[in-house]
A = this chain, B = another copy of it.
Amino acid sequence: MPRPRSLTPDRLAAAALAVVDRDGLAALSMRTTAKELGMSPMGLYRYVADRDELERLVVDRILGDVDTTPPPGDAPWRERVEAMACRLRDAVARHPEAVPLALAHRHRAAGGLRWSETVLAILTGAGLDGPRRVVALRALHAYVSGAIQLEHRGPLSGPGTEAIAALPGDRFPLLTATARDAGGVAPDEEFLGGLRMLLRGLGD
Contacts and interface: CB of A to CB of B under 8 A. Distances in A.
Interface of A: 103-104, 106-108, 112-113, 116-117, 120-121, 124, 130-131, 133-139, 141-147, 149-150, 153-157, 160, 164, 167, 171-175, 178, 181-182, 184-185, 189-190, 193-202
Given A130-B181, A181-B131, A184-B131, A142 B150 contact: yes
A123 to B, nearest CB: 8
Most buried by B among A103, A144, A149, A160: A149
Given A149-B145, A175-B116, A136 B197 contact: yes
Contacts of A108: 155
**A-B residue pairs, 7 tightest by C-beta:** A146-B146, A107-B155, A139-B194, A200-B201, A201-B201, A142-B146, A120-B174
B135 A197 contact: yes
Contacts of A193: 131, 135, 139
Contacts of A184: 131
Contacts of A167: 113
Given A117-B172, A136-B194, 16 more contacts: A117-B171, A117-B175, A134-B156, A134-B157, A134-B190, A135-B185, A135-B189, A135-B190, A135-B197, A138-B156, A139-B193, A145-B150, A146-B146, A196-B201, A198-B201, A201-B202
A24 to B, nearest CB: 15
Number of copies: 2
A150 to B, nearest CB: 5
The SS class assigned to the A binding surface is helix
B117 A174 contact: yes
Contact of A198 (B107, B156, B190, B198): B198
19 contacts: A104-B153, A107-B154, A107-B160, A113-B175, A116-B172, A120-B175, A120-B178, A121-B174, A135-B197, A139-B143, A139-B194, A139-B197, A139-B198, A141-B146, A141-B155, A142-B194, A196-B201, A197-B201, A200-B201
